[in-house]
Protein backbone atom coordinates (compact mmCIF):
# COMPACT_ATOMS: atom_id res chain seq x y z
CA UNK A 1 0.00 0.00 0.00
CA UNK A 2 1.08 3.57 -0.61
CA UNK A 3 0.31 6.27 1.96
CA UNK A 4 0.72 10.04 2.06
CA UNK A 5 1.60 11.33 5.53
CA UNK A 6 0.39 14.93 5.55
CA UNK A 7 2.22 17.01 8.11
CA UNK A 8 0.26 19.79 9.82
CA UNK A 9 2.09 22.13 12.17
CA UNK A 10 0.98 24.59 14.78
CA UNK A 11 2.18 28.00 13.60
CA UNK A 12 5.02 29.34 15.73
CA UNK A 13 5.65 26.03 17.51
CA UNK A 14 9.00 25.55 15.78
CA UNK A 15 10.13 29.18 16.15
CA UNK A 16 9.40 29.03 19.89
CA UNK A 17 12.17 26.46 20.35
CA UNK A 18 15.80 27.17 21.25
CA UNK A 19 18.41 26.70 18.50
CA UNK A 20 19.43 23.38 20.07
CA UNK A 21 15.87 22.09 20.19
CA UNK A 22 15.27 23.26 16.62
CA UNK A 23 18.29 21.28 15.47
CA UNK A 24 16.92 18.20 17.24
CA UNK A 25 13.50 18.58 15.60
CA UNK A 26 15.12 19.00 12.17
CA UNK A 27 17.20 15.91 12.83
CA UNK A 28 14.04 13.98 13.65
CA UNK A 29 12.36 15.08 10.39
CA UNK A 30 15.46 13.93 8.51
CA UNK A 31 15.42 10.62 10.38
CA UNK A 32 11.82 10.04 9.27
CA UNK A 33 12.85 10.86 5.67
CA UNK A 34 15.44 8.11 5.89
CA UNK A 35 13.05 5.52 7.39
CA UNK A 36 12.49 2.30 5.45
CA UNK A 37 9.56 2.58 3.04
CA UNK A 38 9.76 6.35 2.59
CA UNK A 39 9.75 6.93 -1.16
CA UNK A 40 9.37 10.69 -1.33
CA UNK A 41 8.26 13.83 0.38
CA UNK A 42 8.73 17.58 0.51
CA UNK A 43 8.76 20.34 3.06
CA UNK A 44 6.75 23.39 2.00
CA UNK A 45 7.67 27.04 2.48
CA UNK A 46 5.63 28.79 5.21
CA UNK A 47 1.92 29.46 4.62
CA UNK A 48 2.71 33.19 4.28
CA UNK A 49 4.25 32.40 0.87
CA UNK A 50 1.08 30.72 -0.41
CA UNK A 51 -1.07 31.97 -3.29
CA UNK A 52 -4.59 30.62 -3.71
CA UNK A 53 -6.25 30.31 -7.13
CA UNK A 54 -9.91 29.90 -7.96
CA UNK A 55 -11.50 29.93 -11.42
CA UNK A 56 -14.96 31.36 -11.70
CA UNK A 57 -16.67 31.47 -15.14
CA UNK A 58 -13.28 31.40 -16.80
CA UNK A 59 -11.88 34.21 -14.67
CA UNK A 60 -8.87 33.43 -12.57
CA UNK A 61 -9.15 34.79 -9.05
CA UNK A 62 -5.80 35.05 -7.31
CA UNK A 63 -5.57 35.71 -3.60
CA UNK A 64 -2.72 35.99 -1.18
CA UNK A 65 -2.29 33.36 1.50
CA UNK A 66 -3.54 29.79 2.09
CA UNK A 67 -7.11 28.84 1.22
CA UNK A 68 -8.28 28.89 4.81
CA UNK A 69 -7.11 30.17 8.13
CA UNK A 70 -6.69 27.18 10.36
CA UNK A 71 -5.07 26.44 13.67
CA UNK A 72 -2.82 23.91 11.96
CA UNK A 73 -0.97 24.64 8.74
CA UNK A 74 -0.11 22.10 6.07
CA UNK A 75 3.67 22.11 6.01
CA UNK A 76 4.79 19.12 3.98
CA UNK A 77 4.33 15.45 3.32
CA UNK A 78 6.01 12.08 3.13
CA UNK A 79 5.18 9.28 0.73
CA UNK A 80 5.36 5.86 2.34
CA UNK A 81 5.24 2.34 0.95
CA UNK A 82 4.04 -0.01 3.69
CA UNK A 83 2.23 -3.32 4.08
CA UNK A 84 -0.53 -1.89 6.20
CA UNK A 85 -1.85 1.07 8.17
CA UNK A 86 -0.12 0.14 11.44
CA UNK A 87 3.31 0.80 9.91
CA UNK A 88 2.10 4.21 8.69
CA UNK A 89 0.72 5.01 12.16
CA UNK A 90 4.01 4.04 13.80
CA UNK A 91 6.02 6.26 11.49
CA UNK A 92 3.56 9.14 11.73
CA UNK A 93 3.95 9.06 15.52
CA UNK A 94 7.67 9.80 15.04
CA UNK A 95 7.00 13.04 13.15
CA UNK A 96 7.67 16.00 15.50
CA UNK A 97 4.58 18.05 14.56
CA UNK A 98 2.43 15.38 16.28
CA UNK A 99 3.79 16.34 19.71
CA UNK A 100 4.22 20.03 18.96
CA UNK A 101 0.54 20.96 18.83
CA UNK A 102 0.10 19.81 15.23
CA UNK A 103 -0.82 16.49 13.67
CA UNK A 104 -0.20 14.08 10.83
CA UNK A 105 -3.00 12.89 8.59
CA UNK A 106 -2.51 9.51 6.93
CA UNK A 107 -4.18 9.13 3.54
CA UNK A 108 -3.99 6.02 1.40
CA UNK A 109 -3.04 6.87 -2.17
CA UNK A 110 -5.22 5.82 -5.12
CA UNK A 111 -3.34 3.13 -6.99
CA UNK A 112 -4.36 2.03 -10.45
Please identify which residue in 12, 90, 99, 105 interacts with other proteins, judged by CB under 8 A.
90
Alpha-carbon distance of 6 to 75, in angstroms, equals: 8
Q: What is the dihedral of CA 44, 45, 46, 50, to 10 degrees?
A: -90
Please identify which residue in 17, 38, 47, 89 interacts with other proteins, judged by CB under 8 A.
89
Q: Is 79 in the site for other proteins (CB under 8 A)?
A: no
Alpha-carbon distance of 20 to 8, in angstroms, equals: 22
Minimal distance in Å, beta carbon 88 to other proteins? 8
Q: Is 64 in the site for other proteins (CB under 8 A)?
A: no
Cβ-contact 40, 2 below 8 angstroms: no
Taking CB under 8 A as the binding criterion, the range among 12-20, 46-54, 62-70, 77-85 that sits at the site for other proteins is 77-85
Alpha-carbon distance of 67 to 80, in angstroms, equals: 26
Minimal distance in Å, beta carbon 45 to other proteins? 30
Q: Which parts of this chain interact with other proteins (CB under 8 A)? A: 1, 3, 82-86, 88-90, 106, 108
Amino acid sequence: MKYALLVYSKPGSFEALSADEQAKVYGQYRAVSAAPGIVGGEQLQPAATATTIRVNDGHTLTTDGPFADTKEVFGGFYMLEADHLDRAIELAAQIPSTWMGGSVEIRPVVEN
